[in-house]
Amino acid sequence: MNKEEKYDLVLALTEQMKEYGNFYITDTSDLSVAKINDIRRQCFQSDITMKVAKNSLIKKAMEAAGGDYTPIFDVLKGSSSILFSKSATAPAKLIKQLRKKGDKPVLKAAYIDSAIFIGDNQIDTLIKLKSKEQLIGEIIGLLQSPAKNVISALQSGGNTIAGLVKTLQERG
């Protein structure tokens, strides 16, 4: 790979890091070409983009993308593949599914909306992550609940409140 090709790859990785906002770095070393192709096919089916790049180029792309990726730099050793997805949990689910058939790919690190997860022991945590939309929906539901209760009480007890107000007026 010449200098211009490396520059183009770093530029492409940088753009994908900015576009997706989520990426996983995995260890796919010692896997056969057939196994790597199978992983690529499953990534495509799950709407995940997989790239294989040298660690130094991944590091340069992170530096060019901005943000604080320094904790990830320590895991950039050996062979690395990078998985990009709009969904924060899709790559973790795919990795877990693939691990049922073998011991690879191994999660090195994940970057999810500015949060960094280091190590393969984070797979279950990453699978359980909720998207921004899901969290907003839950918050809206929680905020609506008390208002709905008050409105419901007023509607069901409307006659009682009207009777109470009328009684108080007659007293005065």
The model's confidence at residue 125, banded by pLDDT at 50, 70 and 90, is confident
CA atoms within 13 A on the CB side of 171: 6
The Cβ of residue 166 has, within 10 Å, a number of other Cβ atoms equal to 10
Q: Which tens digits make up the pLDDT trace of 33-61?
A: 888 889 999 999 999 999 988 999 999 99
Q: Which tens digits make up the pLDDT trace of 106-115?
A: 999 999 888 8
Domain with CATH 3.30.70.1730 in the chain: 3-129
pLDDT of 169 above 80: no
Say yes or no: domain 3-129 is CATH 3.30.70.1730. yes
pLDDT of 149 above 70: no
Size of the chain, expressed as the number of residues it contains: 172
Nearest to 111 by CA among 149, 77, 157, 73: 73
pLDDT of 157 above 90: no
Q: In the chain, what percentage of residues exceed pLDDT 70?
A: 88
CA distances from 71 to 68, 78, 112 (A): 8, 16, 13
In the structure encoding, which two tokens stand for residue 19, read together? 């576009």
What pTM, to 2 d.p., does this model score? 0.75
